[in-house]
Chain A
């Protein structure tokens, strides 16, 4: 760890944050998840604006800690983490990279139609919902009727 002598650019900070994995779904980054809404310098203070996914998501406090740790490791000490609830987080903010990675990991990405487009394992379109809820607040539980594998679906909100 070293104290910064010149202020890193906002682009540089976005890159650093893009390397911080989501604590529950580590194949995507916090930037992919779309919860980092703004990064800006206010004088010597770095202000990072975060919009939580679900209001009761237990990962929220872990995420705040991970951001702080990642930026502290890069020498940023003067940090202000701002929580912004409006506009409310939406799965439209997931990055393309994030969607691709989710699918490769076995989690069907959100679709406006309200259900997965296809099974993330075998690609079959014959899928059925097991439960509207899943292992984390952001997911639902589905099953493929062809390969019979269960899978998580990232809920569209």
Chain B
């Protein structure tokens, strides 16, 4: 695999994660349990979409086919997306949404910390910018997971259910393939597997404080970041996210 191709794939993986999660989180707009949470979710989604513009903008530049970040977001179909499956699973209840946010924020913050030392200045700059926002996301999602996990009987039960449901989607974030090997060789990005230990330490500290039990199984649903197989949920998400470009191809404002 040529290094440019691997680099493009890597950038799509970063940008598609933030794009698809950003879209999922934005689905809460106007539906959150209280106004403050509604605003917090919308702000988080906004940060993620902003980061998407940077990652997909760079992906388009490296790809060199004259495309823009918008082209990549709105003119690809499900099989071309490279986000992990965790991003595309439906929101579920508020607890599950915040649990997913926490499980991703923890990975995201560690990944961006490593990327700040990337051999590619553009990657390092995006990581530096995004990591400040993500530190804030992590603070909030971790606090909320503890608050709800160690909360009422019902909130505890729901958070444990959320964790049990989402845990099999965690493993995909740490799976390494050829693309990753190319990125490690070029000094652009770390080996995903090398993030696992730090992740487990962080996540188990918070989940223990939240009085939740981490499932023992390491079974992992995968296929999103390689594009081999997405869940059936991604196609539905795209029909909404890409509706305008599908109905009015090339529309601009």
Contact = CB atoms under 8 A, between A and B. Distances in A.
Contacts of A141: 36, 39
Nearest to A55: B50
A109 B102 CA distance: 28
Given A131-B39, A131-B40, A135-B39, A85 B136 contact: no
B125 interface: yes
Binding site secondary structure of chain A: loop
A85 B47 contact: no
Contacts of B36: 130-131, 133, 141
Contacts of B128: 85-88
Interface residues of A, number: 21
Interface in B1-60: 36-37, 39-40, 43-51, 53-54
Most-contacted residue by chain B among A86, A133, A134 (CB, 10 A): A133
B125 A56 contact: no
Contacts of A137: 43, 46-47
The 10 A-B pairs with the shortest beta carbon distances in the complex, nearest first, are: A56-B50, A55-B50, A86-B125, A131-B36, A56-B46, A133-B40, A133-B43, A88-B129, A132-B140, A85-B129
Interface in A100-157: 130-135, 137, 141, 155, 157
Interface residues of B, number: 28
Interface of A: 54-58, 85-90, 130-135, 137, 141, 155, 157
Interface of B: 36-37, 39-40, 43-51, 53-54, 121, 124-126, 128-130, 132-133, 136, 139-140, 143
Contact of B129 (A55, A58, A155): A55
Contacts of A89: 129
A58 B125 contact: no
A54 B54 contact: no
A54 B40 contact: no
B133 to A, nearest CB: 6
